[in-house]
Amino acid sequence: MKKIAVILSGSGVFDGAEIHESVLALLAIEQAGASWHCFAPNIAQHHVINHISGEEMPETRNVLVEAARIARGNIDDIVNLRAVDYDALLLPGGFGVAKNLSDFALAGTKCQVNSEVKRVCQEFAREEKPAAYLCIAPTLIPTIYGEGARGTIGNDPDTASAFSKMGGEHVVCPVDDYVLDQQRKILTTPAYMLAGSVSEAASGINKLVQELVKLA
């Protein structure tokens, strides 16, 4: 059975991993006949957002502890993740990618990726193992793979422009499809960058995961 490593960035779209995308991806992995295991960095979240009001809350939370909610406790610190132990990698979206796994939400094109996240993603790249980045997660790709790496965040002009300025090649893509950089084995899909419902998000994620498992 093929094994997929999944990196989560907390729990909740505005300050962590997008929960629908995460669960849809885990379900799709199982339905494709593969297994998954979740990882997250053991660090403080950038901040905590009230998901009703959208306002920042006066408290701190830990990315690994919050991500464990989605994984039902079946999760490890990312320092223990080695590409050699898995066949493929997947990163759901959510603002946690741009606030906790990197500082893209603050620094834009000058963003830095968390050192352990970068190490893991580059290990999968060096081993030539396929990796999937959903929603906003493709903003990490230029830093991981360098010049010319292809990917999509859908059609948002500002994010697409940032992706290109960082050295990536952005491809416009509808919600129900995915983009494959065949040379680098990178798969991307817009998910909630474009989706207006859970089923719309699932339409592209399911196709992407099927291909990810095939390539693994």
The pLDDT of residue 95 is: 98
Domain boundaries, the chain: 3-215
Active-site residue, from 38, 111, 121, 135: 135
The pLDDT of residue 104 is: 97
Cα dihedral 48, 50, 51, 53 sign:
negative
What is the mean pLDDT of the segment spanning 50-69?
A: 98
* Residue-wise pLDDT tens digits, 161-185: 999 999 999 999 999 999 999 999 9
Please state, in angstroms and rounded to a whole number, the distance separating the CA atoms of residues 111 and 138. Answer: 13
Q: Is 135 a catalytic residue?
A: yes
Mean pLDDT (the chain, rounded): 98
* Residue-wise pLDDT tens digits, 181-210: 999 999 999 999 999 999 999 999 999 999
The pLDDT of residue 181 is: 98
**Domain boundaries 3-215, CATH class:** alpha beta
* Residue-wise pLDDT tens digits, 73-110: 999 999 999 999 999 999 999 999 999 999 999 999 99
